[in-house]
């Protein structure tokens, strides 16, 4: 059953049944006053000592559905053990939500309906899209993927054709085996539609309309259930999805692709905090499936794991496949740094950047301006009394959204209309401070209001972020407009910075990236470098278009730190140099991947209660076996310590040995449950363990 880790409910519950059920069978069982979905993990005959115990009887067995396989159960058990969660929480979260509510009769009806749906005969299907010609680098990567066991790190620059390698690797797999399945993962939902279109064009004509399915949280519950059932039955040969897809039941899984493997979105940040990328590697090893991790800017963990042997160092566990060249002889964009220290105070877009964008508009080309902050302005403030738009429920400011005249907290969702005057002093002159994408879009509209496109029509500026794409279908229509050339300047957050194949964009600009250079989070420079490299990769992807236009692709970065090593490496598109520098610093500081970390977090009514619980937990850990091998740092508040009137604190736990860290965490679980019932646990709402945290 689905139970959170802090609930202290055991992993396995025992029930009595009239017949033996196979492990992996789904059942309806009573739990308290409810009837819930459960998974049979094992069964045994009643023993004499069981006679004195009173077992609740099993409900309905959903045995019209094939049991969940041993490999799937092993994956769930490993994830629960490694990430310190309960079996039920992982297992039930991995199943489609609608499946949890279906009775046996309803499921049988659904399976019958799905089984009677028309399936295109592969022989009678329409033509598939032809595979593109491969470059020497692509051909070499495909040859090695076919010949060697992996796992593979496909290190390919943006535009080098990594997706074509995925497509041809999947095609080779399906051609070899009539039953084999492939799992292809992307970090974000907005990248799924375009990838799905390419896979459908390539494979549906040959393998039928149901051969390719998607699996992500943006789908409706009936859609998710249909895709999951198709994968479980083996009728879906290819599953495309986000991090949740790593738990898809695929009985004939033979290949796993993790695209943009560096992306932090692969780490779940609520509930069971698993890393889908790491689980994909584990699952591939358990099921004998090949694993391809692809990125132009690999995570430093994957880069370190793919290091070649050198001297006494045996090298990493992954095999690195390099594809440094862009397809079609296209060059990577030239990176230009604008020193904002030399610009007038409060300059948003420098004159040289505006001139460069204007030249692109005049030639009918497209530009992209990247700012990783949505809304109109991050703060609304009063110049007289100092009032700011703080959220009453969080230790954060509410963001000003001009489009609907609201102040909205991006942490708890609390929203109010913008006040007519300062709530504190009555001053009517309250003003926005700072800029988000909404304000940047407006600013660009004002600057280019008198400029015309080559056909004489006015310049069109579009914005893509979480606010502008809230309505269903909005993202697809906006992307279609960009691809059709209807947009001259595209403004957006990281949603537009990765994965998209914009053919007419020749200039990309990053407006304000400096904040991450001096973050307290040691991973911030790695994320910034990756984001800027990915953003640069949106420019100049079509060499033929550049040649026809007689132009070159450029990436403009406005910064006050032009001599920073990160920007120096970025100008050369030299990820290996950046990675070597960062890894040297991490090795010296004893940080991942040279150490292993976990966070113990506590949410409570007061900050004092949260920290008292964590400090008591640390003191109690001293008595545990192997505690001396694991460092425990003092409890501190989170960067945003209060969200929705709940105070949050955390304690970092670190060890040079992964095994030592895991042993301590496993021993710590009953101690933490016990602390909840002591004075130190008073006021604590919940606690959680985050293994291999991505943000500290």
- For CATH 3.40.1440.60, the residue range(s) in the chain are 5-115
H runs (alpha helix) in 3-86:
70-82
351: number of Cβ within 10 Å: 11
Which residues of the chain register pLDDT less than 70?
1-10, 47-52, 115-130, 328-330
Q: Taking a C-beta distance cutoff of 8 angstroms, is the pair 399, 407 a contact? A: yes
User: How far, in Å, CA of 355 to CA of 318, rounded?
Assistant: 45
Structure-token pair, residue 20: 């033996």
Helix (H, G, I), strand (E, B) or coil at 613: helix
Question: Would you state the pLDDT for residue 6?
Answer: 45
The kind and range of the H/E element at 168 are helix 162-176
Q: Is there a binding annotation on residue 394?
A: yes
User: How far, in Å, CA of 242 to CA of 190, rounded?
Assistant: 10
Structure-token pair, residue 525: 């420079």
Q: Is there a binding annotation on residue 391?
A: yes
Q: Mention the CATH class of domain 596-691.
A: alpha beta
User: How far, in Å, CA of 189 to CA of 178, rounded?
Assistant: 29
Q: Is there a binding annotation on residue 422?
A: yes
Question: Would you state the pLDDT for residue 302?
Answer: 97
User: How far, in Å, CA of 309 to CA of 531, rounded?
Assistant: 29
User: How far, in Å, CA of 274 to CA of 566, rounded?
Assistant: 29
Q: Is there a binding annotation on residue 361?
A: no
Helix (H, G, I), strand (E, B) or coil at 299: coil
Name the one residue in this structure whose structure tokens are 């990765």: 498
Q: Mention the CATH class of domain 332-374+436-588.
A: alpha beta
56: number of Cβ within 10 Å: 12
Helix (H, G, I), strand (E, B) or coil at 12: coil
Q: Taking a C-beta distance cutoff of 8 angstroms, is the pair 162, 323 a contact? A: yes
Query: What's the whole-model pTM score?
Result: 0.89
Q: Taking a C-beta distance cutoff of 8 angstroms, is the pair 307, 580 a contact? A: no
Q: Taking a C-beta distance cutoff of 8 angstroms, is the pair 75, 255 a contact? A: no
Backbone angles phi, psi at 26, to 5 degrees: -85, 140
Dihedral angle computed from the Cα positions of residues 403, 404, 410 and 412, in that order, rounded to the nearest 10 degrees: 180
Backbone angles phi, psi at 223, to 5 degrees: -65, -45
229: left (phi over 0), alpha (psi -120 to 50) or beta: alpha
Beta-strand (E) ranges in 280-423?
290-295, 319-323, 334-339, 366-370, 379-382, 399-401, 406-408, 415-417
Question: Would you state the pLDDT for residue 544?
Answer: 82
Q: Is there a binding annotation on residue 425?
A: yes
**Model confidence over 24-64: pLDDT tens digits?**
889 888 888 888 888 888 877 776 666 667 788 877 888 88
Residues counted in the chain: 696
User: How far, in Å, CA of 483 to CA of 476, rounded?
Assistant: 10
Q: Is there a binding annotation on residue 385?
A: yes
Q: Taking a C-beta distance cutoff of 8 angstroms, is the pair 385, 421 a contact? A: no
Question: Would you state the pLDDT for residue 130?
Answer: 66
Assigned CATH for 5-115: 3.40.1440.60
Helix (H, G, I), strand (E, B) or coil at 379: strand
Based on DSSP, count helices (H) and strands (E) in the chain, helices before strands: 18, 25
Question: Would you state the pLDDT for residue 9?
Answer: 54
Structure-token pair, residue 276: 């889908």
Distance set, CA 443 to CA 149, 465, 468, 544, 555 (Å): 53, 17, 17, 32, 20
| DSSP line for 517-550 | GG-SSTTHHHHHHHHHHHHHTTSS--HHHHHHHT
Q: Taking a C-beta distance cutoff of 8 angstroms, is the pair 23, 40 a contact? A: yes
User: How far, in Å, CA of 102 to CA of 605, rounded?
Assistant: 37
**Model confidence over 530-562: pLDDT tens digits?**
999 988 888 888 888 888 888 899 999 999 999
**Model confidence over 245-299: pLDDT tens digits?**
999 999 999 999 999 999 999 999 888 899 999 999 999 999 999 999 999 999 9
Beta-strand (E) ranges in 533-634?
554-559, 596-604, 631-632
Looking only at the bridges linking them, the beta strands covering 181-185 and 238-241 are parallel
Q: Is there a binding annotation on residue 294?
A: no
CATH superfamily of 136-327: P-loop containing nucleotide triphosphate hydrolases (3.40.50.300)
The 8-class DSSP code of residue 458 comes to B
Helix (H, G, I), strand (E, B) or coil at 649: strand
Dihedral sign computed on CA atoms, order 156, 162, 168, 174: positive
Residues 6+ apart with CB under 8 A from 546: 330, 506, 540, 552, 553
Helix (H, G, I), strand (E, B) or coil at 107: helix
Closest CA to 58 of 27, 12, 97: 27
User: How far, in Å, CA of 488 to CA of 366, rounded?
Assistant: 5
Helix (H, G, I), strand (E, B) or coil at 155: strand
Structure-token pair, residue 94: 């991995």
- For CATH 3.40.50.300, the residue range(s) in the chain are 136-327, 332-374+436-588
User: How far, in Å, CA of 538 to CA of 550, rounded?
Assistant: 18
Name the one residue in this structure whose structure tokens are 């497509």: 167
User: How far, in Å, CA of 575 to CA of 322, rounded?
Assistant: 12
Q: Is there a binding annotation on residue 330?
A: no
- For CATH 3.30.70.260, the residue range(s) in the chain are 596-691
């Amino acid at each position: 059953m689905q139970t959170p880790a802090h609930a202290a409910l055991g992993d396995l519950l025992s029930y009595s049944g009239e017949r033996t059920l196979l492990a992996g069978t789904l059942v309806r069982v009573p739990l308290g006053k409810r009837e819930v979905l459960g998974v049979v993990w094992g069964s045994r005959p009643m023993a004499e000592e069981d006679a004195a115990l009173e077992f609740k009887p099993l409900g309905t067995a959903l045995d019209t559905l094939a049991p969940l396989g041993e490999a799937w159960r092993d994956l769930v058990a490993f994830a629960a053990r490694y990430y310190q969660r309960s079996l039920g929480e992982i297992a039930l979260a991995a199943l489609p939500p609608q499946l949890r509510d279906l009775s046996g009769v309803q499921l049988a009806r659904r399976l019958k309906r799905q089984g009677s749906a028309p399936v295109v005969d592969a022989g009678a299907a329409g033509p598939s899209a032809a595979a593109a010609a491969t470059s020497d680098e692509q051909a070499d990567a495909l040859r090695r993927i076919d010949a060697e066991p992996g796992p593979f790190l496909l290190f390919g620059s943006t535009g080098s054709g990594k997706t074509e390698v995925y497509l041809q690797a999947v095609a080779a797999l399906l051609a070899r085996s009539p039953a084999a399945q492939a799992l292809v993962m992307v970090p974000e939902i907005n990248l799924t539609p375009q990838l799905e279109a390419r896979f459908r064009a390539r494979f549906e004509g040959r393998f039928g309309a149901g051969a390719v399915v998607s699996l992500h949280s943006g789908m409706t519950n009936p859609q998710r259930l249909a895709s999951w059932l198709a994968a479980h039955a083996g009728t879906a040969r290819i599953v495309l999805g986000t991090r949740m897809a790593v738990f898809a039941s695929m009985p004939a899984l033979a290949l796993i692709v993790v695209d943009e493997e560096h992306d932090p979105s692969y780490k779940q940040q609520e509930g069971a905090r698993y890393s889908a990328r790491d689980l994909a590697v584990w699952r591939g090893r358990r099921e004998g499936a090949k694993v391809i991790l692809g990125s132009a800017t690999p995570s430093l963990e994957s880069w370190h794991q793919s290091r070649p042997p050198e001297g006494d160092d045996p090298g990493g566990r992954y095999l690195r496949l390099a594809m440094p060249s862009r397809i079609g002889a296209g060059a990577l964009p030239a990176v230009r740094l604008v020193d904002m220290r030399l610009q007038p105070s409060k300059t948003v877009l420098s004159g040289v950047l505006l001139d460069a964008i204007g030249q692109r508009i005049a030639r009918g080309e497209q530009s992209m301006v990247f700012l990783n902050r949505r809304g109109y302005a991050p703060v609304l403030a009063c110049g007289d009394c100092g009032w700011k738009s703080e959220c009453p429920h969080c230790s954060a400011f509410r963001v000003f959204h001009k489009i609907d005249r609201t102040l909205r907290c991006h942490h708890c969702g609390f929203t109010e209309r913008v006040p007519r005057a300062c709530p504190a002093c009555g001053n009517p002159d309250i003003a926005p401070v700072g800029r988000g994408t909404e304000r940047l879009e407006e600013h660009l509209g004002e600057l280019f209001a008198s400029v015309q496109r080559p056909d004489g029509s006015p310049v069109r500026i579009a914005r893509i972020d979480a606010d502008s794409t809230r309505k269903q279908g909005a993202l697809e229509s906006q992307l279609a407009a960009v691809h059709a050339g209807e947009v001259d300047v595209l403004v957006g957050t990281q949603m537009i910075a990765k994965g998209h194949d914009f053919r007419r964009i020749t200039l990309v600009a990053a407006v304000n990236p400096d904040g991450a250079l001096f973050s307290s989070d040691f991973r911030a420079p790695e994320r910034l470098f990756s984001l800027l490299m990915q953003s640069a990769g949106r420019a100049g992807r079509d060499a033929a278009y550049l040649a026809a236009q007689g132009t070159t692709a450029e990436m403009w970065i406005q910064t006050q730190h032009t001599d920073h090593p990160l920007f120096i490496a970025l100008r050369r598109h030299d990820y290996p140099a950046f990675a070597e520098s960062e890894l040297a610093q991490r090795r010296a500081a004893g940080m991942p991947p040279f150490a292993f970390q976990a966070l113990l977090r506590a949410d409570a009514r007061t900050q004092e209660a949260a920290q008292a619980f964590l400090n008591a937990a640390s003191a109690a850990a001293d008595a545990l076996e192997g505690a001396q091998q694991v460092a425990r740092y003092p409890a501190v508040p989170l960067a945003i310590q209060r969200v929705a009137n709940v105070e949050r604190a955390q304690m970092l736990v670190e060890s040079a040995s992964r095994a030592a860290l895991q042993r301590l965490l496993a021993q710590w679980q009953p101690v933490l449950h016990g602390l909840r019932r002591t004075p130190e646990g008073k006021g604590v709402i919940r606690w959680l363990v985050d293994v291999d945290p991505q943000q500290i």
